[in-house]
Amino acid sequence: MMNEAHPGYTEGITAVYPGSFDPATNGHLDIIRRGAGAFGRLIVAVGINAGKNPLFSASERVQLLSEACADLPNVAITTFDGLLVKFARQQGAKVILKGLRAVSDFEYEFQMALANRRLAPDVETMFMMTSAEHLYLSSSLVKEIARLQGDISVLVPENVEVRLKERLLVQSVAPLGKSEEPGV
């Protein structure tokens, strides 16, 4: 579905959808699929949030996303570090796409959008409302449910479910202080 109301309006536009994606959930996939329909090219950018201690390395997160988005030809998945707006400019992206869930996201996202705009007025931040069924979802919540052996099959793509269970199993049998692979 390529912007039927305004054909061609966003077709030539590249957008960057940044996030930690540790791991990707169906909420992220919802934004990616809709973003892929709205923009000519969508770059899903796996970033590093210094305040987070990830379960999956950056390359694992890219791999999981690549598998889940294999049917979307105009979506590319990559990592980035440093400033998001600098990365967006390097990619020729005019838009940073962000998903908004509850009102609680708003203040943080508003602050980020304003700061990014100050840094790069030529890059526009655009928000997409998360679908109602994903409103409560976050990667941390998914990891917690999986750790407690709850059913995550409706919350994440199948490949993520499999890898997440494997990773948590490895962690649960690893000696204290040793994880299989440190996050990046």
Active site residues: 28, 52, 101, 139
| Residues contacting residue 72 through CB under 8 Å, at least 6 positions apart | 32, 33, 36, 42
Closest-by-Cβ residue to ligand COA is: 27
Among 19, 20, 1, CA closest to 11? 1
CB of 137 to ligand COA, least distance (A): 4
Nearer to ligand COA, 148 or 176 (CB): 148
Site residues (vs ligand COA, CB under 6 A): 18-20, 22, 25, 27-28, 31, 47, 49, 83-84, 99, 101, 112, 115-116, 130, 134, 137-140
CB of 164 to ligand COA, least distance (A): 13
CB of 22 to ligand COA, least distance (A): 6
Q: What are the two backbone dihedrals, phi and then psi, of residue 171, each rounded to the nearest 5 degrees?
A: -60, -40
Q: Which two tokens stand for residue 107?
A: 């203040």
Residues in the chain: 184
